[in-house]
Amino acid sequence: MDPPNYAEGQFEQLRLNLAQAMGLTEQEAVAQLTTLWRQRNPPAQQNGPPAAPPQPPNNLPAPAAPPNLAVPAERKKGVPEIQENVYQSTSRIPDPSDHALRRLRNYEYVELWYFTPKGCEVAASHAVTLEADTFTITKADSNLTLLPSRTSAVPKGHIIQDQHLSFSDMSIAKNNLIPHMTKCHWPPQL
């Protein structure tokens, strides 16, 4: 690997500082910087033990000490690790009614209205939660299934058929429907 071209404008301040500190010309400062770079970045050796790190020449000022980096203390048990630079969504996917999710799990047709913000809002306002140990019997195909009794009785008058939805409602509903299809384990290509 070749050293940087210390004669370029981006290294001007470095050259001037070195030339002033050591009483050199700018060309001598460029040569000194190139020599130092080659000493600190030797070509990779194929055989033998790695070379000892080179020592700076005695006539150069000592390099500045690296900033004191805090050594992380041992983590206590139960304290979650903070992950930096991880994106967290600031929006939440609204939940449609249980009826719509049940139909989605059974690969049945579900109106897109259930996945619009208005449909999710109506489903939340009509959701009735019963005791945790209360179940209802539901028929799916020829099987009977017990389901928890959190029911969502959305009045039929509120549901808007797909052909009557606006384009923006359809776009929003599609963006809400696709993650719910993934949650309900739909295959990627159906």
Distance (Å, whole) CA 62 – CA 169: 67
Return all residues near 135 (Cβ < 8 A) that are at least 6 apart. Answer: 146, 147, 148, 149
pTM score, two decimals? 0.43
189 is a domain residue: no
Domain that holds residue 168: 98-183
- Are 105 and 179 part of one and the same domain? yes
pLDDT score of 85 more than 70 = yes
Look at 77 and 154; give whichever has higher pLDDT: 77
- Tell me, yes or no, whether 60 lies in a domain: no
Compute the mean pLDDT over every residue in the chain, rounded to the nearest whole number. 76
CB 188 within 8 Å of CB 159: no
Domain assignment present for 162: yes
The C-alpha atoms of residue 102 and residue 109 are separated, in whole angstroms, by 11
What are the φ/ψ torsions at residue 112 (nearest 5 degrees)?
-65, -25
- Quick one: 106 and 33 in the same domain? no
Q: How confident is the model at residue 71 (pLDDT cuts 50, 70, 90)?
A: low
Tell me: the pLDDT tens digits for 170-186? 988 898 888 888 888 88
Q: How many domains does the structure of the chain reveal?
A: 2
pLDDT tens for 94-115 read 788 888 888 888 888 999 998 8
Range from 37-41, 61-65, 114-118, 142-146 carrying the lowest mean pLDDT: 61-65
